[in-house]
Amino acid sequence: MSDYVLTVFEKSGEKLLDETIQASNDTEGRTLAEQMLKEKGYEEHTHRFVAPNARLVLFHR
């Protein structure tokens, strides 16, 4: 398992969420991140999901 990071921002730049998600690969991590975004109601906020090697896996603006 690797540590991925999901970050959600308000339009002002304020950080609303900064969560570490453990996943075995990018696909699993992306699925978990999308579930968390939906549960917390942040689907339409600016967000990014980054792999352990700092590669961008998911981005929404």
Could you tell me the CA-to-CA distances from 27 to 6, 24, 37, 48, 60 in Å, in that order?
14, 8, 15, 15, 17
DSSP 20-41: EEEESSHHHHHHHHHHHHHHHT
pLDDT-derived band at 6 (thresholds 50, 70, 90) equals: very high
Expressed as residue numbers, the domain containing 10 is: 2-60
What digits encode the pLDDT tens for the residues 7-54? 999 999 999 999 999 999 999 999 999 999 999 999 999 999 999 999
So what's the pLDDT on residue 55? 96
Q: What local confidence, expressed as pLDDT, does residue 22 receive? A: 98
Q: pTM of the predicted model, to two decimals?
A: 0.93
Number of domains in the chain: 1
